[in-house]
Amino acid sequence: MSKLLLPEDHPYTAGRTCTTCSEFKTAEHYTLERDTRASTGVAMRTKCKPCNEHIKWKSHIKRTYGISYEEYCDMLDRQKGCCAICKSPDAQNSRTYGKLFIDHCHSTQKVRGLLCSKCNHAVGLFNDNAELLKTAINYLSK
């Protein structure tokens, strides 16, 4: 499948203003799609890619964890923007694009807090088992 390109006569060839963030951005910041209703046959989304991804992420955390974006922000504020375990403020290297992971109990689905990528994976690798983690602590303490 070939990459969809804007025709030279498209009204937004230079870019457009995002309807969410109100910033003018160049065309590569928007998703293009074939649309027979458009005069050029190609339509450009009204929301830029970052805003669209953020909207999808907000919907994902509500659907998956049962918390709103505002609740996520409240947790982030309570944790002072840091991982609940290691206190690292640096989530920039995370595959979540700067967002801390939402840690939750897999049996009760209750959200426990926000973790960096490393701590989230470590807890997961120990299967959320506190006794196993204590054993690991004892081992490391030797």
pLDDT band at 5 (very low <50, low <70, confident <90, very high): confident
The predicted-structure confidence for 48-79, as pLDDT tens digits, reads as follows: 999 999 999 999 999 999 999 999 999 999 99
Average pLDDT rounded to a whole number, residues 79-100: 76
Which amino acid belongs to residue 31?
T
Structure tokens at 117: 């990528």
Average pLDDT rounded to a whole number, residues 70-96: 82
Helix 49-65 with 69-78: angle, nearest 10 deg: 90
pLDDT band at 42 (very low <50, low <70, confident <90, very high): confident
- The pLDDT of residue 93 is 47
What's the whole-number average pLDDT of the chain? 88
Which residues neighbour 13 within 8 Å (Cβ) at sequence distance 6 or greater? Answer: 6, 27
1-65 CATH, one of 1.10.3930, 3.30.60, 3.30.70, 3.40.50: 3.30.60
**Model confidence at 96: pLDDT above 70:** no
CATH number assigned to the domain covering 69-141: 3.40.1800.10
